[in-house]
Amino acid sequence: MLMSLGWILLAGMAAGGLFRRLHLPALLGMMLVGILLGPGGLNGIDDSILKISADLRKLALIIILARAGLTLRLEDLRRVGRPAILMCFVPACFEILGCVILAPWLLGLTVLEAAILGSVIAAVSPAVVVPKMIALIEKKAGTDKGIPQLILAGASVDDVFVIVLFSVFTSLAVGKNITAMRFAEVPLSVLTGILLGYGLGTVLTVFFRHFHLRDTGKVILLLGLFLILNGAENAGQIPFPCSSLIAIMSCGTAIQKGRKAVADRLAVKFNKLWIAAEILLFVLVGAAVDLAYAARSGLPVIGLIGGALLFRMIGVAVCLVKTPLNWKERGFCMLAYTPKATVQAGLDRFLWQWGWLVGMRC
């Protein structure tokens, strides 16, 4: 296990650095390393790491969302307004609709199977989108019109929305009854996540004001609380619908509002953690890729993904109607809201569990 971790970190860092020099995304190099070292390649990653791969990817996601929350300002979110709310669900709905229209024709799926597949494809990847938007905020690029804040705010809520839809569609597929409460879980999860996270952040702000703790200690405290919160959600130990990922961002935003200087220092600390977490995340995502299966899927699947992304981009364009953004800025938002990777790697495990990927004729 330790040797595999060493290879993951060293090879991932080297590949990321090489791709940066080639003016290509570093994460592409890291994913290629994962494909090379993974079960479909040299099989150089220990099984014990692959078994906890989902947890390691979630840890990396928690780190970058904590970093995002510590960067976001409530004033910027209020200024963005309506488009930020629409970006939480409209692009995903368009993408699922695209799958429902295209998948029966391209892959011979039923409408329900197409909806399930669409709910997997539709999730945007916060681990890809969030770091890039944070970098733009730090450079103050597009912040006068709230462009990075707009995309940053919608990325995590988008995932909550599609995951609930995924659970609804899979329940329908096995004949379970669907109640209105299942659909109400989306706004409830978002609202309770915001309130819980903001309340926790407010309490921590008061704690940091009255008790001295080194910044490293603050990071350990925050990370520990966030891991417990996410673990409690995954284990069903929170007695009400709640998105822990939104709570994590909301907590950071509360600290940013109450203790800006502390939030700025903690953001730097979390950024350093992200350096290693990013390598682990994208190498392990690459290791989950089955190139042989992708090759067998052929052009129809490529056409489906391309068509679904086109529908998503149209959805983003709809969200930006009557905004001050020019056509270049709107085009940037449409492209910036398309990355996929981490959420799909998690939901695919459930598809295999349900047997849908086996049954689908793709």
Please report, for the chain, the start and end positions of each structural domain, with discontinuous segments joined by +. Answer: 52-359
CA distances from 142 to 102, 127, 137 (A): 35, 20, 8
Q: Is 3.30.460.20 the CATH classification of the domain at 52-359?
A: no
User: Going by C-beta distance under 8 Å and a sequence separation of 6 or more, which residues neighbour residue 258?
Assistant: 201, 202, 205, 206
Residues 173-231: tens digit of each pLDDT: 776 666 666 667 778 888 898 899 999 999 999 999 988 889 999 999 999 999 999 89
Distance CA 186, CA 157 (A): 9
Distance CA 360, CA 277 (A): 34
pLDDT score of 204? 95
Q: Which two tokens stand for residue 184?
A: 């109400």
Nearest Cα residue to 64 out of 281, 345, 285: 281
Residues 263-307: tens digit of each pLDDT: 999 999 998 998 889 899 889 888 877 777 667 767 888 898 899
229 alpha-carbon distance from chain centroid: 17
Residues of the chain with pLDDT > 90: what percent?
A: 30
Confidence of residue 20 (pLDDT cuts 50, 70, 90): very high
Q: Which two tokens stand for residue 144?
A: 């006068």
